[in-house]
Amino acid sequence: MPDQAARDRRAQKKALTRIAVRRAAQRLFAERSFAEVTVADIAAAADVAVQTVFNHFPTKEDLFFADRAAWVAGPAAAVTNRRPGTAAVATAHSWLADQVAEVPELLTRADVRTLSADILASPSLRLRQRELFRDSEDQLAVALHTTWSIEVGELPGLELAASMTSALLVTAARVVLTDQWRQLVEVPLDSPALADRVAEVQRTSRQALAAVGGDFPRLADREGTPSALRTVARLEAGKPADDRVARSIRPAGGQPTATTGSSTVSTRSATSSADIGTANAV
């Protein structure tokens, strides 16, 4: 049997090949467009066989989003890592609000707008981005259900309450991202009005998200609220968000990403916490 050193060398070679393929692909996507680049082009640029590309990335869409969608796990990570005595829903909401508020600054960059247009032109990329949002929603639902079941037990309807709450929070963020794109994309990058528009969009985005996520504890007193949802709303009432964790949980290991609603775009340079993105949601 091969020794550990040999296994380590193979693992390192595999990891380096994956990085080379990803970098070659994303460079070609930036130079041309997603639609114009073939897997054969990527293989040639990375100096590997076509099958090697598929060994690391099942589809071209996976290559486009590789290491650009770390934001998917952000809301769930904020819930899981929050301090005792803080509210799960408020912490997830705080993470989303902070991330979304930083996105308008990304839309002042030409590379983000160019990549956004590329995504909007590709039905397959838009579909993949919708799947990423759903992944984020599912991960947050699991995190909420886990933390609530520890505190109140496995109540009937608790899993549904977690899924509904997660869907509300993630969908609200996606809708706000779409509105940000609509308001900013038509403002020329060299326009003197762009800075003021960015500030205004950031302000209205926070207000819109606050209107959705801020009233969760009030469900405890609302007539007709399902029993499990009422229980966790009471559990969350009076507890603050863990804003420290919400601000420190940053999408790991990637470049800044922008999501114009239904697509996620990498900015390809300069680290940013606004990894949740900027593209047009559909």
Q: If the chain, 282 residues long, is cut into consecutive pieces of 10 residues, what is the mean pLDDT of each piece? A: 78 94 94 92 97 96 89 94 94 94 91 81 92 96 97 94 95 92 90 96 92 78 84 91 85 42 37 39 41
For residue 264, what are the β-bridge partners?
259
From the list 265, 262, 260, the residue with the least C-alpha distance to 278 is 260
What total number of domains does the chain contain?
A: 2
Do 129 and 276 meet the contact criterion of CB atoms below 8 Å apart?
no
Q: What is the pTM of this model?
A: 0.82
Rounded distance between C-alpha atoms, residue 252 and residue 203, angstroms: 26
- CA 216 remoteness from chain centre: 22
Do 232 and 253 fall within a single domain?
A: yes
195 domain residue, yes or no: yes
Do 123 and 19 fall within a single domain?
A: no
| φ and ψ of 259, to 5 deg | -125, 105
Do 100 and 188 fall within a single domain?
A: yes
Do 120 and 224 fall within a single domain?
A: yes
Do 137 and 42 fall within a single domain?
A: no
- Predicted pLDDT of residue 276: 44
Alpha helix segments (H runs only) across the chain: 4-31, 39-46, 50-56, 60-65, 74-80, 88-106, 110-120, 123-152, 158-184, 194-213, 227-236, 243-248
Do 29 and 92 fall within a single domain?
A: no
Do 246 and 118 fall within a single domain?
A: yes
Tell me the residue range of the domain where 205 lies. 70-266
157 domain residue, yes or no: yes
DSSP letter for 60, please. Answer: H
- Predicted pLDDT of residue 18: 96
- Predicted pLDDT of residue 203: 94
Rounded distance between C-alpha atoms, residue 88 and residue 235, angstroms: 10
- Predicted pLDDT of residue 251: 60
Do 39 and 129 fall within a single domain?
A: no
- Predicted pLDDT of residue 69: 84
- Predicted pLDDT of residue 1: 53
